[in-house]
Every structure is written in C-alpha cells, then in structure tokens.
Chains A and B, each alone.
Chain A
C-alpha cells in the first residue's frame, strides 16, 4: 500500500503538483495518465525522496524506508556505458546490503531471478552501452525488481519498447503482482495499454487529479478531449476501451 496525503511539490517556487491525496491498496495496479507536464513523474519522484515535497507519503507500515519499501524505475535512468547488465541489476540489492557490506547469497539469487524474469540471461555479460533501447529498458526494470520492494513505481516502463515487448514487460510485472502481491503504480503514455493493465486509472492535469475510476470510467472521449485536446476517439471493446487518434485537420 502507498498513500499520498496532501502532497504538494514546487520547483523554484512554482507549484507543479497538488496538494493532492491518493491511496493505492495492496496488490492494486494504479495507472497514472495525463498530458505531458501533468505531474505524473513528480508524483512518483516525490515518493522515492528525490524531490522535496509537502504533505505525507506513507508506505504500509507507515515509515518509509527508501529502496526497501518502494522501488522506482526512472523515466530517464543513468546507464553507465561500461557496466555489465548483471552488475547493474545487482545494484538493485543496495537497500538490502549494509553501507560497507557486500552481497550475500540471497542478493545473488534475487538478482538472478530478476534477470531471468525479464529474459536477460543471455545479455547479462553485455555492457549497458551496447544494448538497444528496449534491452536497456528491461535491464532497468530488472534492477527495480531485484529490490524486491512491495511497492513498484514505474515511470514510462514501455517508453522504448515496441508493442510486443511492451505487452510482454507489463505481463511480467502483472505476473509478479499477482504472485507476490505487489502494489504497482505506473505512469504510461499509451492510454489503451494503461487501461488494459491497471485496475484503476487516475487522470492528472496541471498537477491535480481531475478524474479517477475504472479504465472505462476514465477513458471517455469527453474526459480525454477536455484534457488532451481534440482528435481522440474511444472505441469500446470487450477487453476495455481502445483510444485511437484522429487527425484534427480534415482538409484533404
């Protein structure tokens, strides 16, 4: 479980988020959607302590132990070129290792499991600089999974992935969520994809929550055009709503 209570963030005196209140239950998948600059990333960054915020952010037992209780996959991670995939994923175990300590067998096993779950075994000795965008994305997710935190915050986990790998990666996350009871919060730009995986969607706009509910409640033409602009069509399908773009100028 993770909760934001009256959380507000300002950059250089300019308010970019909140104050907003949001709670995600154990085992729930919450999808954050909203146009660029709506505050999705900021919401996640506040939760892992990389931006200062007002208000409270609580994790299950109340106290927030960064890295141990919550794992974060950044939108633009730093990927040291010469580091191997295996060593990179191993760094995800940092919260479990004392400041001056080294990895024990548990750490190595968790790392191996994270690598295997994202099908990275064959790439484990490759350096990060040689990976394709999609491979690097999987390595970053593997590092977050290696943390074995009960709450997983994923900022654009499918950004560099083709549609097939995108679905595959989200399936892996969903499988772990069901198996380990993880709480998942994602910020995803692809609205259809967000709706397919999330139990609940939260639509952010200009730093505030403007809609909240099941994918079919939030992914409506009315709400989306109000916040993203015109040119959006929503088609209802058995699996849930499908959002398709429509050209705004029809002068052909």
Chain B
C-alpha cells in the first residue's frame, strides 16, 4: 500500500487555446467567404475597410461603389449574420438537449419543435397564402408542440426524461400526420412548403436578424452559464439530486431556453437538419467530453458550419440555389462519419 501523496491542484475542463483559436479562425474565414463570394465581385481589402468604416466612430476610405456597399451591407452581411445565428442556436440547442437528456441522439427537434413549426408553416402557405404569416405561425406551431409534449410527458410518466422523449415522438408523428393531410388538400402549396422544410436563408434581411437576435442572445447566455450543470446531470438524476441539484428545474430551464431559440431560428430559416447533432459530436470527439468545452465551442463552430453550408448552397449550382438543409446533410453526414472513423483508428 502506497503512502498518500501531496495534493496537486487540477484545473476544471474548458476549451483549450488551440480549440478556441481554430474555432475563431474557421468562423472568420467563413464570414469573409460569405461576404466576398457571389455574382458581384467585391475586393477583400475594400470589404474589410468598409466593415471597419461602418463601425460608429471609425472611418476608412474603402473605395466601394454604392452598389457594392448595398450588396455587402443589405444582402450579404444580413445573410451571413443570420446563418451564423441560426447555426449557433441549433448547435447550442443540440448540445444542451444531449446533455439534459443524456442521449447522444437528442437534437433540437427532439420534443416536436420541427414538426410543430412545419405544421404552422404549412397552414400559413396552404390556408392564407401569405408569406408574412409563415414565421409567426411556424413559431407558434413549434412552441405549441413542445408545450403539448411537456404536458403529455408529465401526465404519462411523471418527470423522467424518457417519458418526455417518447411524448415528443408521439407529438411529432401527430403533427406530421396533420401536415400531410393539409398538404394533400392543398397540393398547389407543396412546392413552397417543401422549400421551407428544407431550409432557406434566401429572403432574409436585417428584420429577420433582429427578430431572432434576442432569442439567440438569451438562450446563449442561459446555456453557456448552465454548461457545468450539464456535466453534473451526466451523473444521472439520482446522483445529481444527492449533490443538491434541483434536476427538474435545471432540465426545465435548459429545455425552455434551447426550445425557444430553436423555434425562433426555425421560424425564420425553415428546418435545417443535422447541425444540432454533428456539430456538438464533432467537438466532443475532437476537443473533449465536457459540456464546459462543448457548449461554448458549439456556438462558434455551429455559426461557422452554417455560414459555410450557406455559401455552398448558393455557389455550387449558381445561378441556382440548393436548399441549405440539403447541403448540411449532404456534406455534414460524410464529414461526421470521417471524424468518427478516424477517432476509432486513433483509439
């Protein structure tokens, strides 16, 4: 039996400098690419100078024409910011759901947000034909679905995570069935609904960005602050309770924040799949198991991933445009498999 040794202090898990550096660099390159690439050529130096000039109190002779400025500030910048926000929200919400439900397959759409939002958007297209109603109805549908899931889950199985997940499956199936029925009756709106379901950042302007921003900021603050608690939940409900954690309340707060932000993102961007699964998992594989690492990095990598996906969506088949949901799945799935495989090899 060995003697007890002298204590050495250990540092809690957090994103390492290299990981943060890579994340910031990737996001920076993605944003620049999103701003510069497109039908209208904009010079790199000019764009950077113009962005600098746009900061209140700073000035720079950027030399961009009126049209170039219009393209940069009214078309590309809002679209890039929107992509970054939606990507950050989806990745963050995915990480939060995986932590709170201790389930690696959990994604932001787990509790029926997507199906509910899809139903809301379908109703807007089919019954009103009014594009302006799509976002509000999608938001309402998504939130309503989650409220029903929560109520059902509690009445069926008390407070366990499993009953909540199963209720989500039931609610999603029900909402999807309703949506299919509505579509059958309004075949003429299938094309619009389908394009919405596959996700799009096409029609966005600053208005949409400003609508999503408060949800993204609040959810981001709550979830980043709760990152340590997600690690505690990893011990299971019983041990977390014995450590003094109010498990039910923590789960409720985290799920509410993640769901609100997801519903808001989905309502303006449609259903962009896969981001919430592959971004947190890739981070987990590359940079560590702890949610103290995964949650902050999910914000950065999620944003970068969607900006890049959007860039691909609008350049690969230019002048046409691919639905962004197709791009995230088409390139995201193989990339994820490569990461998984290389990890297997390494270990």
Give the residue among B10, B13, B228, B237 with the most A Cβ atoms within 10 A. Answer: B10
Assess whether B61 is interfacial by the CB under 8 Å rule: no
Assess whether A24 is interfacial by the CB under 8 Å rule: no
Task: Kindly list chain A residues whose C-beta atoms are within 8 Å of the C-beta of B242.
Answer: 48-50, 66-67, 71-72, 74
Task: Kindly list chain B residues whose C-beta atoms are within 8 Å of the C-beta of A68.
Answer: 244
Q: A48-B242, A80-B235 are in contact. Are A164 and B1 (CB under 8 A)?
A: yes
The listed residue (B1, B5, B225) touching A168 by CB distance below 8 A is B1
- The B interface, classified by DSSP as helix, strand, loop or mixed, is loop
Task: Kindly list chain A residues whose C-beta atoms are within 8 Å of the C-beta of B7.
Answer: 109, 112-113, 115-116, 121
Interface stretch (choices A27-35, A81-89, A187-195, A229-237): A81-89
Assess whether A10 is interfacial by the CB under 8 Å rule: no
Q: How far does the alpha carbon of A83 sit from the alpha carbon of B293 in the complex, in Å? A: 12
- Closest CB-CB distance, A56 to chain B, in whole Å? 18
Assess whether B239 is interfacial by the CB under 8 Å rule: yes
- Closest CB-CB distance, B76 to chain A, in whole Å? 36
Besides A112-B10, A121-B5, 10 new A-B residue pairs in contact (Cβ under 8 A), listed by A number: A78-B239, A80-B289, A87-B13, A91-B231, A91-B232, A94-B244, A95-B243, A97-B228, A108-B9, A147-B243
Interface stretch (choices A99-107, A205-213, A242-250): A99-107
Assess whether A124 is interfacial by the CB under 8 Å rule: yes
Task: Kindly list chain B residues whose C-beta atoms are within 8 Å of the C-beta of A97.
Answer: 228
The listed residue (B4, B10, B229, B241) touching A124 by CB distance below 8 A is B10
Chain B interface bracket (under 10, 10 to 19, 20 to 34, 35 or more): 35 or more
Give how many A residues have a beta carbon under 8 Å from the other chain's beta carbons.
46
Q: How far does the alpha carbon of A49 sit from the alpha carbon of B242 in the complex, in Å? A: 7
Give the residue among B2, B225, B235, B288 with the most A Cβ atoms within 10 A. Answer: B235
Assess whether A15 is interfacial by the CB under 8 Å rule: no
Assess whether B290 is interfacial by the CB under 8 Å rule: yes
Question: Among residues 247 to 293 in chain B, which have CB atoms less than 8 Å away from a CB atom of chain A?
Answer: 250, 288-290
User: Is the Cβ of B234 less than 8 Å from the Cβ of A83?
Assistant: yes
User: Is the Cβ of B4 less than 8 Å from the Cβ of A77?
Assistant: no
- Closest CB-CB distance, B102 to chain A, in whole Å? 9
Q: How far does the alpha carbon of A222 sit from the alpha carbon of B147 in the complex, in Å? A: 60
Per-residue CB contact flags for chain A residues 149-189 toward chain B (1 = under 8 Å, else 0) read 00000000000000010001000000000000000000000
**Which residue from chain A places its CB closest to the CB of B13 in the assembled complex?**
A87
Q: How far does the alpha carbon of A94 sit from the alpha carbon of B235 in the complex, in Å? A: 12
Task: Kindly list chain A residues whose C-beta atoms are within 8 Å of the C-beta of B238.
Answer: 45, 50, 74
**Which residue from chain B places its CB closest to the CB of A90 in the assembled complex?**
B12
Question: Which A residues have a C-beta under 8 Å from some C-beta of B?
Answer: 45, 48-50, 65-68, 71-72, 74, 77-78, 80, 82-84, 86-87, 90-92, 94-95, 97, 99-103, 108-109, 111-113, 115-119, 121-122, 124, 147, 164, 168
The listed residue (B10, B241, B250) touching A86 by CB distance below 8 A is B10
User: Is the Cβ of B12 less than 8 Å from the Cβ of A103?
Assistant: yes
Q: How far does the alpha carbon of A113 sit from the alpha carbon of B237 in the complex, in Å? A: 26
**Which residue from chain B places its CB closest to the CB of A80 in the assembled complex?**
B234
Assess whether B226 is interfacial by the CB under 8 Å rule: yes
- Closest CB-CB distance, A61 to chain B, in whole Å? 16
Q: How far does the alpha carbon of A117 sit from the alpha carbon of B9 in the complex, in Å? A: 13
Q: How far does the alpha carbon of A109 sit from the alpha carbon of B11 in the complex, in Å? A: 10
Per-residue CB contact flags for chain B residues 1-30 toward chain A (1 = under 8 Å, else 0) read 111111111111100000000000000000
Task: Kindly list chain B residues whose C-beta atoms are within 8 Å of the C-beta of A111.
Answer: 10
User: Is the Cβ of A83 less than 8 Å from the Cβ of B289?
Assistant: yes
Task: Kindly list chain B residues whose C-beta atoms are within 8 Å of the C-beta of A100.
Answer: 225-226
- Closest CB-CB distance, B87 to chain A, in whole Å? 25
Assess whether B245 is interfacial by the CB under 8 Å rule: yes
- Closest CB-CB distance, B167 to chain A, in whole Å? 22
- Closest CB-CB distance, A78 to chain B, in whole Å? 4
Task: Kindly list chain A residues whose C-beta atoms are within 8 Å of the C-beta of B12.
Answer: 87, 90, 102-103, 108
